Amino acid sequence: MKKIKYKNVNLTVILLLTVCFIGCTGVSAAVKNGEKKSDSPNVMLVARAQSPINVDGTLDEPVWKKARVYKLHRAANRERSGKTVAQPGEVRLACDKDYFYVGVTFYDLDIIGEGKEDQLKHYKFGDICELILTPENETWYWEMYATPAGKKSCFFIPGTARVGLPSMMEYKSELKVASKVNGTINDWRDKDVSWSAEMAVPVKELTAHGEKFGNGGGWRILVARYNFGRYIDNESAELSMTPQLSVENFHILSEFAILKFDDK
């Protein structure tokens, strides 16, 4: 067999081909292992409100019009099994010096909110928007709910292994919540259209343990939805979220998106 001479081969080309091969292999492995899709954000942008938002459940302030819109996803393992979001949702983020705001619009054919008091585990009583905020390098986080009936809950959780303890229920918060229903709540006989909600989280609560809230503070976020109802097929509830998680576990803090604040 004739020997091949390699002295004229460009070593840069060889290196580039090697890098491409490794990179492509890594991408294929990531997809195979169910990591987050490219259209799910690793960073979520927070619009700066020039004046306080009137928390009434209607997203009609100018800041909501300029805020980035984030779509809800099913968890990656659900999407691989063919489950997609049947009733879509949209999420927007904003802030001023006193509050961090979340505005959501959830399309919903059967709106349910049977919880009659604040500070309940409202995912046991119907549809909710769930907001989780955590400092990036800490174990603790806040878990907050808004329901279509305008009820709210806020829990402070020192670490994931303390979820569900009675102390979680005792947290006192000045969280503000309001909702607006386009349809009729708790009536399975008709078809509804949507519900929207605004949540206002006091910055002073988020910074009570010494963290800075804003760029440089290193905060992570998850906005999730429990969607119950007559028209949800073959599931007890449709769970969706942004950013997309690998599995339906809303306590995987490392998969949350990083907040980036618009300082203008």
Average pLDDT over every residue of 131-137: 95
- Checking if the pLDDT of 35 tops 70, the result is no
Please state the φ and ψ torsions of residue 256, each to the nearest 5 degrees. Answer: -70, 160
- Domain membership of residue 102 as a residue range: 42-261
- The CA-based dihedral angle spanning residues 94, 96, 98, 99, taken in that order and rounded to the nearest 10 degrees: -10
Token pair for residue 41?
Answer: 């954000």
- 4 found inside a domain: no
Q: Choose among 40, 250, 233, 48: nearest CA to 142.
A: 250
- Do the domain assignments include residue 17? no
Gap between the Cα atoms of 129 and 122, Å rounded: 10
CATH code for the domain of 189: 2.60.40.1190
Residue 50 has pLDDT above 60, yes or no: yes
CA–CA dist 56, 199 (Å, integer) = 9
Q: How far apart are CA 152 and CA 147, in angstroms?
A: 7
pTM (2 d.p.)? 0.84
| Average model confidence (pLDDT) across the chain | 87
Q: How far is CA 204 from CA 173, 174, 177, 207, 261, in A?
A: 10, 10, 17, 5, 17
Q: What is the pLDDT of residues 6-27, one digit of tens each?
A: 344 443 433 333 333 334 344 3
* Stretch 249-264: mean pLDDT: 92
Confidence band, pLDDT 50/70/90 cuts, at residue 131: very high
Split into its structural domains, the chain has a count of: 1
Residue 11 resides in a domain = no
Looking up tokens 């909600």, which residue turns up? 197
Identify the pLDDT of residue 39. 63
117 lies in a domain?
yes
- 33 or 113: which leads in pLDDT: 113
pLDDT of 251 > 50? The answer is yes
Note the pLDDT tens digit of each residue in 155-177: 999 999 999 899 988 899 999 99
Whether 14 maps to a domain, the answer reads no
Residue 135 has pLDDT above 80, yes or no: yes
pLDDT at 191 over 60: yes
Query: Is residue 10, in this structure, part of any structural domain at all?
Result: no
The sign of the dihedral angle between the CA atoms of 194, 66, 129, 81 is positive
Q: Is residue 173 part of a domain?
A: yes
Alpha-helix runs per DSSP H in 100-238: 203-206
**Nearest by Cα to 152 from 195, 194, 120, 111:** 120
Amino acid at 257: A
In this predicted structure, what is the pLDDT of residue 169?
A: 87
The whole-number pLDDT of residue 233 equals 87
Cα–Cα dist 239/216, whole Å: 31
